[in-house]
Chain A
């Protein structure tokens, strides 16, 4: 299937932006692990670039090796800061590493960041990298609701995740031809009314991740979910339940919850 099938709801922190038109949208924030991978990749790229430049300088300054060292030392120092600052500033918040890991630096307001912000957050790395291996920055990310390191706090920026998305396709439960729950329109409508959005997305997630779950975990989760729905939300008759596996129970429930055309049928039957 397409990539959209494997995309899940953000489980980590998110930024909520309210536009002047009164529209709310959320952007999922990037956690420290992804950011670390992107940074390691960027460091590798910078090292490779400096190394290449070093060879060139060595050739050009063959007669004056001291000045070669001067040039390469200062270039290495400048590239270390400028690589991220310039790329983020002029490439809409992305370095090569961030682009590959689908991360982007943005302004706290949800808009792209300015070049000044890119410079500040990258110069502040000197502080975030303390005392070693970005410990200060890492603690700052973990303790901040917007997952900002100190450089981000000063510059007013944050890093968001941008997993590529496509318009979601039809789900398994909307493709099923017959749903025995719809034989009981009153109980089906009760299920639709009583199920919270959280419960509905829990069922959706459980079904979607069918093949990622270990068999015993799947059995337990499906059994618990079905039992909860049956006892707390909408009790379907026992003679129907006895014929259904827990998984089929959940597929039917999702069909009732998500597939909208069938709602028309339910209404029609009910009338």
Chain B
């Protein structure tokens, strides 16, 4: 490969843009792509979906027409997915949601969603991943394991690369701290600065940090280790916390503790937080939802007038249990959601827009095949740190992009 025709990867929310895909059809070689990105790329050649109605092959037009029929006729539809789609597809999806009076929700609801909300609303200070590379001397992975979920996180940004103010990088100028319930692959990289907490104990750990910052004896954990942590935090020039889904069980009813911690840390030095987003365009969806409705979750639109509704009953669990139709795009809800929510969805007519066969597509009333965002279809997306990325597709396909499919469904109504 002598021409550096870099393309993007939509395997995770880092949306790496230095991938070299071979243009020889016989040789599927991709340079610089991590195992997760490679698996995503190879799904191009896995079991792809075909247009189906009630388990039988149909034409694309028929499938779209039937999908429109189901969604238009529903009284409380739910549109789920969003975070694995381009910003353009998300925008059309929102138009559709308004049109049919749907509840909208994405997987970040039960993962990093609440952190994402705090960052988007400015309740905790944040920065870009490039800032992390250039300035961060302390990276804290709390309830997150980017080695497994965003594999190039540490090599591109948070620990190993050199940066403007961190030329000596991990060897002398960066510290990596992990707080987790288990010895994750990321924890293996910094065993001396890994803090093990039990499930549900993150609140106590957080309070212990507040104790040591105030010079008090911590009431939780190994006292010596916690005091050491306190001094690392105090000596930090630019610290970044990457909170993951792991702390959600502990903090979900006490999210203000996290913003309290960030405020306290910022009295000591500069500290930022960047969530470890799930789908490649989770941040894009949450930002869109915030911009359009003022909320990041528990949102639905009223039928007939598209008025924005925000109530606890519109949380994912509530919306799923009240739903009488589901549109799932770029997601596999029956595989991803707690059994009660999944069961509620399995009982209603489901329209699935997806690129590959999934557990949900097998049970769907209508399946519409889509092009894979970023690989076969273009558009833009927002990286986990808020940077906008232009998706450069490189694979030709006859399949429609999600944006086109959603537009055609609306047209068919």
A binds B: no
Chain A interface (Cβ < 8 Å from any Cβ of B): none
Chain B interface (Cβ < 8 Å from any Cβ of A): none
